[in-house]
Amino acid sequence: MTERQRRSPRPTTLDVDALLTDRATRIVVCCGSGGVGKTTTAAALGLRAAELGRSTVVLTIDPARRLAQSMGLAELDNIPRRVPGVDTSNGGDLEAMMLDMKRTFDEIVEAHTDPRRAGQILANPFYQSLSAGFAGTQEYMAMEKLGQLRAADEWDLIVVDTPPSRSALDFLDAPERLGRFLDGRFIRLLVGPARSGGRAYVRMLTAGFGLVTGALTKVLGTQLLKDAQTFVTALDTMFGGFRERADATYQLLQASGTAFLVVAAPEPDALREASYFVERLARDRMPLAGLVLNRVHRAAAATVSGSRARLGAERSIAAAETLEELGSGPLAAAVLRLHADRVVLETRERRLRDGFTAAHPRVPIVEVPAMPNDVHDLVGLRSVGTALTP
């Protein structure tokens, strides 16, 4: 192995300010596994973009409502709210909103059906259950809301905080899953009877679906199946619209004005998920801007003979043991041990980062240091924004 091969790979630095100030950038999507700081990153990006002169809206799908708190808002809902305290001297401004999954679904129904049919759908118990918690609905509605915001064209930049899903890929898979649901056998079973008439329905059940429907009736009840049939029949004319809008939003995500930022922490699971997401974005030809590596730890340099030098973990522990043996400097010994732990942690995180860089050498990275306190206001968000632009 050559000396160059033994060296740690040096990642390209991601220029976040250049991304945010580029007027061609219209959408920034923050994605990654749960618990890595996507919401904070999205909020910090939105704030920095606004104070750099962009008219920005941040869309969060975070049920913890931390974004509202950090931006000094009492609450967030499905309507964009102006964020107070933002420096607008450069001509930018900032609004924020949180996806209301059910309200977004209701808006789609109201916009794409006549008032009578919309009333039937909104009052249907099956629809109410579906719109409130059906698997994948949140991710699909996030796609719908993004499409609505872009179509409105009221902001220079839209920053999206993707849902805290089981997998970071759920956001991209939502349109396909919805299509499979709409084309599924159960939906065809429910839609078919209304199109064929009551007697045809009975014949169909006895011919092919009697056993399945009988089992479902025992588990779900006759009324639920009737509600589901009524709902699907009323919504049937909207199915094509769902697919068309899902396809349009998917194409929007592939467009040159969109930039994906994969957010991760220097932990094995988070970087493994980030690596998988980078590969998926490349396969789907979606524009990846780079990786935001959050909560990175750095050990301080020690002053040795008047110069700043790095004190390694082994030397720190040895020095601490010497002080302890001499029975002097217990505080200094404790600090040295803490420093040794920090060096070990930093070394571990750097190896994980270098492993990611070796697998994805063309992905630019920006590292955000671990903050001493939780980010809960605009001051903290500005600190994160500054750290995002080294």
* The predicted structure's pLDDT at residue 205: 41
* The predicted structure's pLDDT at residue 128: 79
* The predicted structure's pLDDT at residue 173: 77
* The predicted structure's pLDDT at residue 303: 46
* The predicted structure's pLDDT at residue 365: 97
pLDDT above 70 for 214: no
Confidence tier at 255 by pLDDT (50, 70, 90) = very high
pLDDT above 70 for 320: no
Nearest residue to 182 (alpha-carbon basis) of 194, 190, 171, 173: 190
Residues 197-211, mean pLDDT to the nearest whole number: 44
Highest mean pLDDT pick, 223-237, 312-326, 366-380: 366-380
* The predicted structure's pLDDT at residue 192: 54
Confidence tier at 262 by pLDDT (50, 70, 90) = very high
Report which of residues 2 and 389 the model is more confident about: 389
pLDDT above 50 for 237: yes
Residue pLDDT, tens place only, 322-361: 766 677 767 777 777 776 777 778 888 999 999 999 999 9
Among 46-60, 73-87, 202-216, the least confident range: 202-216
* The predicted structure's pLDDT at residue 216: 43
* The predicted structure's pLDDT at residue 323: 66
pLDDT above 90 for 261: yes
* The predicted structure's pLDDT at residue 211: 40
List, in order of start, the domains of the chain with CATH numbers: 8-298+356-387 (3.40.50.300), 302-349 (no CATH)
- For residues 205 and 359, give the distance between their C-alpha atoms in angstroms, rounded to a whole number: 54
pLDDT above 50 for 296: yes
* The predicted structure's pLDDT at residue 191: 53
- For residues 302 and 331, give the distance between their C-alpha atoms in angstroms, rounded to a whole number: 16
Confidence tier at 127 by pLDDT (50, 70, 90) = confident
pLDDT above 90 for 201: no
Report which of residues 32 and 238 the model is more confident about: 32
Residue pLDDT, tens place only, 225-234: 666 666 666 6
Residues 132-152, mean pLDDT to the nearest whole number: 79
Confidence tier at 313 by pLDDT (50, 70, 90) = low
pLDDT above 70 for 103: yes
Residues 170-186, mean pLDDT to the nearest whole number: 65
Report which of residues 144 and 234 the model is more confident about: 144
Give the amino acid at 204: M
By the 10 Å C-beta count (0-12 exposed, 13-18 middle, 19+ buried), 348 is classed as middle
* The predicted structure's pLDDT at residue 233: 65
pLDDT above 60 for 115: yes
pLDDT above 80 for 280: yes
**What percentage of the chain reaches a pLDDT higher than 90?**
36
- For residues 258 and 9, give the distance between their C-alpha atoms in angstroms, rounded to a whole number: 28
* The predicted structure's pLDDT at residue 62: 65
